[in-house]
Amino acid sequence: MGTDTPMAGAAPSAQQARRTAIDDAARARRMRKVIAAAGAGHFVEWFDFGLYGTLASVIALKFFAQGNDQAALLSAFAVFGAGFVMRPLGGLFFGSMGDRVGRKNTLALVIIITSGATVVMGLLPTFDAVGLLAPLLLVIVRLVQGFAAGGESSGATTLLAEYAPSNRRGFVSSFVDVFGFASFVVGAGLVFLFTSTFGSDALNGWGWRALFMLALPLGLAGLYLRQRLEDTPEFRAIQERGKVAAAPLRTSLRTSWRALLYCVGFVVLKAVGHWILQTFMPSYLQKDLAYSQQLSYAVTVVGLLAITILVPVFGLLSDRIGRKPVMLVGCVGFLVLTYPTLVLMSQGTFWAAAGAMILLGVFMAAFDGAMSAAMAELFPTNIRYGSMAIAYNVSVALFGGITPYFATWLIASTGDRFAPAFYVMAAALVTGLVVLRSRETYREPLQEV
């Protein structure tokens, strides 16, 4: 009997351990599925933005009158910025929808609109074929893309944050930016491979269309993954308890206006930093620093790949030491070292430019790795999607969309090819001050209402 008692007591313990292991494995599989679904849609969303920025010089050639390369490039960046005008409206529409009917269905609709518009861009007639109608159609497509983009980033962040374990929220949420930057890496990488294989003439002739058309299979894959998900546990919980907000946007403005302002401030550096590195940099290397088209694409790929790899590392770090310290690393890095890195790029060698891009990429990865979770933790579940959508898209529309245009204008108006550094430094200073004033949230559970 003395030997039977420990054995009887040991059996439930072993059984419990097996159940725990099975539950842990099931949770891990579900988390991978959620990350894939959120990430696939986000990848498609930013694939077009990445291609547009990388191919800005080609778009300027195809959709605008020739004779002044700088003016044509400015026009291409102005059309790029036009899409951002619609982002706050898209944020209002999709954010409210996401808080009322759920994250899953809203994000499915977003990916349908986005991928469809990107495919249409690859079919548009050029200036040589239809004259001024070409840039007009380009603007319309960009407006549609901007409207859909208003619901993507905040929705994908909400989805990941609400599925993530509380002690891994920074790591899991950081995959929004992992897939976002990965799309730019793939976009710039495809352009690099295409020009290396077929040459610049083929890219300028038919290749740019083929690249935009890739959004069709990517969009269908993303839609399939998102449709297979359940809605988040956090949203299902407030549905069951009858706590879904009837007017989430009104509730947000009434009860969370301070959090909205913090979120706007966080996004200033994110918007400026992203569009400097992703969209402005390829044309900057070519037009202002005299790098070849192929080399500029290679430098961009290297820099964005570094960010893609490092973002989850900093996300995990923010789960250990907090969001604020990690975000401040990014702010201080951009404030102190943006100007020296642009000077380093001007040395004219691949390694100088790639090293400078990687250094800026470290600071961008640090900020992004912590920021997604920090934004999600500012708001309760019943207004989280819409609140982030409002704040995020207002800030991106004001600061992100104009970044490539404004940086190009700064160089043209001052004659200083390093002038864009001061714009990035100003954004880093503003966001750094906001981060210092914000509260630390990494140990706090997500609120329902």
Query: Mind listing the pLDDT tens digit for each residue in 306-340?
Result: 999 999 999 999 999 999 999 999 999 999 999 99
Q: Which pLDDT does position 17 carry in this prediction?
A: 55
Helix (H, G, I), strand (E, B) or coil at 363: helix
Mean pLDDT of 3-24: 54
pLDDT at 148 over 50: yes
- Phi then psi dihedrals of residue 2, to 5 deg: -65, -30
CA distance 272 to 386: 22
Higher confidence at residue 5 or residue 389? Answer: 389
Write out pLDDT tens, residues 355-402. 999 999 999 999 999 999 999 999 999 999 999 999 999 998 888 878
Query: Is 323 within 8 Å of 373 (Cβ atoms)?
Result: yes
Higher confidence at residue 122 or residue 8? Answer: 122
Question: Which among 65, 111, 310, 338 is positioned nearest to 221, based on CA atoms?
Answer: 111
Query: Is 359 within 8 Å of 342 (Cβ atoms)?
Result: no
Mean pLDDT of 223-232: 87
Domain residue extents for the chain: 38-437
Q: Which pLDDT does position 377 carry in this prediction?
A: 95
Q: How many CB atoms lie within 10 A of CB 351?
A: 11
Question: Which among 118, 170, 179 is positioned nearest to 370, based on CA atoms?
Answer: 170
Query: Is 74 within 8 Å of 287 (Cβ atoms)?
Result: no
What percent of the chain is helix, strand and coil (3-state, nearest 5)? 85, 0, 15
Reading phi first (left if > 0) and then psi (alpha if -120 to 50, else beta), residue 422 is in: alpha
Mean pLDDT of 74-93: 83
Q: In b/e form, how buried is each residue of 354-365, taking b as 16+ CB within 10 angstroms?
A: bbbbbbbbbbbb
Write out pLDDT tens, residues 254-301. 999 999 999 999 999 999 998 898 878 888 898 889 888 788 888 888
Tally of residues, the chain = 449
CA distance 370 to 113: 29
Query: Is 326 within 8 Å of 269 (Cβ atoms)?
Result: no
Q: How far is CA 119 from CA 8, 309, 335, 401, in A?
A: 65, 29, 38, 21
Query: Is 318 within 8 Å of 369 (Cβ atoms)?
Result: yes
Mean pLDDT of the chain: 87
pTM, full prediction:
0.84
Q: Which pLDDT does position 8 carry in this prediction?
A: 47
136: CB partners within 8 A, 6+ apart: none
Distance of CA 274 to the CA centre of its chain: 8
Q: Which pLDDT does position 18 carry in this prediction?
A: 58
Q: Which pLDDT does position 257 carry in this prediction?
A: 93
Mean pLDDT of 81-105: 89
Question: Which among 30, 37, 33, 48 is positioned nearest to 224, based on CA atoms?
Answer: 37
Band of residue 15 on the pLDDT scale cut at 50, 70, 90: low
Written as one string, the DSSP assignment of 123-149 is T---HHHHTTHHHHHHHHHHHHHHHHH
Amino acid at site 20: T
The CATH number of 38-437 is 1.20.1250.20
Query: Is 410 within 8 Å of 345 (Cβ atoms)?
Result: no
